[in-house]
Chains A and B, each alone.
Chain A
């Protein structure tokens, strides 16, 4: 009687929210008198934000307005993702910044009966500085838990 009991008990728990995305938060670059960055002052972007990823023909995020964060897909197999952020103001003047995300990719699975995903460990990040002041890595593991991975600090002057 033990054998059927042993062989028939199986449960599968695949995560329901399983989209792997990098999460960016937008912040104001506010410096203290001693020159240190005061972190954590969230802002909403007044301009229109359009995002493209190098290597893709299409726009990945089109004309985002008033956002305080964004989520972007991450390449499965590239070592570095290049993200271009174009800000267009009401006078249709556009300023762009580029962010380079250097990462290590690895497979992740929960169960043989669940889809395999790619997770990413951020090794380094750098950017141009037309509008962006600083990019901080707050959570280097990019997976499907929805936590903020990057904080982008914009110039406020």
Chain B
């Protein structure tokens, strides 16, 4: 909360406290009138209990810095992009997944999401001249659940899943010919356009915060399970677009997202 907002809430709260004090002092009595000899010269301060209750509730809400919002069934849409992939690309990493996403906000609780990206790699082997290249699109569909739907601060704690798919062609080659050690013959090792595809599932855990009006920033961590992969007989790809590198069929990943609520 910035200092301007804090000052504004403080002023508003003080105003209500002042008004409440005035009411407590000045509101005329509506209690039952004493009769006969019981009548005294007493000043009775009467309070409109309903009005005070409303004001107290308002006061409590504002002391907490919150106001209840009206949440619609379709509460909005969001679009965004993964900054991490762009940073990897700019940072000359030998692989990256660059993706954009779109989602629907249902009741501030459910977020069906579609992610579309392009994964690419240009990787040379360590101490060898083997080279792997791929550049192919991928998509994921799934849903996030917001555990902080009741909170009005706009921050979200998300847990969700994705189904991902990619179909791709990859290249394997080497600058050095492959030599038969027994027959002493050799040939160049150049294999291009090897076809493959992969399906996988992801579990997603993430946090999001509202930076400014419609602008959101968030990150997530993902564990990925390869369901099925169809690879060329030569060998599996070093990287599956959208899934990443895959030790033993389980992968890890994450994203750092800039999103806009529209």
Shortest CB-to-CB span from A135 to chain B, Å, is 21
Do B233 and A106 touch across chains, with their CB atoms under 8 A apart?
yes
Expressed in whole angstroms, the Cα–Cα distance for A55 and B180 within the complex equals 13
Supposing A112-B124, A116-B130 touch, asked if A76 and B180 sit within 8 A by C-beta, the answer is yes
Do B93 and A7 touch across chains, with their CB atoms under 8 A apart?
yes
Do B126 and A76 touch across chains, with their CB atoms under 8 A apart?
no
> Which residues in chain B, 239-262, are within 8 Å of chain A measured between CB atoms?
245, 247, 252-254, 256
Asked if B212 is at the interface (CB within 8 A of a chain A CB), the reply is no
Specify which chain A residues have a CB less than 8 angstroms from the CB of B191 in the assembled complex.
107
Expressed in whole angstroms, the Cα–Cα distance for A12 and B123 within the complex equals 13
Shortest CB-to-CB span from B69 to chain A, Å, is 31
Specify which chain A residues have a CB less than 8 angstroms from the CB of B36 in the assembled complex.
none
> Which residues in chain A, 115-131, are within 8 Å of chain B measured between CB atoms?
115-116, 118-119
Do A75 and B88 touch across chains, with their CB atoms under 8 A apart?
no
Say which one of B26-34, B46-54, B154-162, B181-189 lies at the interface with A. Answer: B181-189
Specify which chain B residues have a CB less than 8 angstroms from the CB of A3 in the assembled complex.
84, 87-88, 91
Of all chain A residues, the one with the shortest Cβ separation from B129 is A112
Do A2 and B254 touch across chains, with their CB atoms under 8 A apart?
yes
Asked if B235 is at the interface (CB within 8 A of a chain A CB), the reply is yes
Do B88 and A109 touch across chains, with their CB atoms under 8 A apart?
no
Specify which chain B residues have a CB less than 8 angstroms from the CB of A108 in the assembled complex.
233-235
Do B182 and A73 touch across chains, with their CB atoms under 8 A apart?
yes
Count of chain A residues with Cβ under 8 Å from any Cβ of B? Answer: 31
Expressed in whole angstroms, the Cα–Cα distance for A3 and B93 within the complex equals 10
Supposing A6-B88, A106-B234, A108-B234 touch, asked if A113 and B189 sit within 8 A by C-beta, the answer is no
Do B127 and A113 touch across chains, with their CB atoms under 8 A apart?
yes
> Which residues in chain B, 128-146, are within 8 Å of chain A measured between CB atoms?
128, 130-132
Number of A-B contacts (CB under 8 A): 85
Do B247 and A112 touch across chains, with their CB atoms under 8 A apart?
no
Specify which chain B residues have a CB less than 8 angstroms from the CB of A89 in the assembled complex.
none
Dominant secondary structure of chain A at its interface with chain B:
loop
Specify which chain A residues have a CB less than 8 angstroms from the CB of B130 in the assembled complex.
109, 112-114, 116
Shortest CB-to-CB span from B111 to chain A, Å, is 21
Expressed in whole angstroms, the Cα–Cα distance for A48 and B241 within the complex equals 55
Specify which chain B residues have a CB less than 8 angstroms from the CB of A12 in the assembled complex.
126
Asked if B74 is at the interface (CB within 8 A of a chain A CB), the reply is no
Asked if B174 is at the interface (CB within 8 A of a chain A CB), the reply is yes
Specify which chain B residues have a CB less than 8 angstroms from the CB of A113 in the assembled complex.
125-128, 130
Do B180 and A107 touch across chains, with their CB atoms under 8 A apart?
no
Expressed in whole angstroms, the Cα–Cα distance for A110 and B181 within the complex equals 20
Expressed in whole angstroms, the Cα–Cα distance for A6 and B252 within the complex equals 9
Shortest CB-to-CB span from B96 to chain A, Å, is 10
Q: Which chain A residues have a beta carbon within 8 Å of chain B's beta carbons? A: 2-3, 6-7, 9-13, 53, 55-56, 60, 73, 75-78, 106-116, 118-119
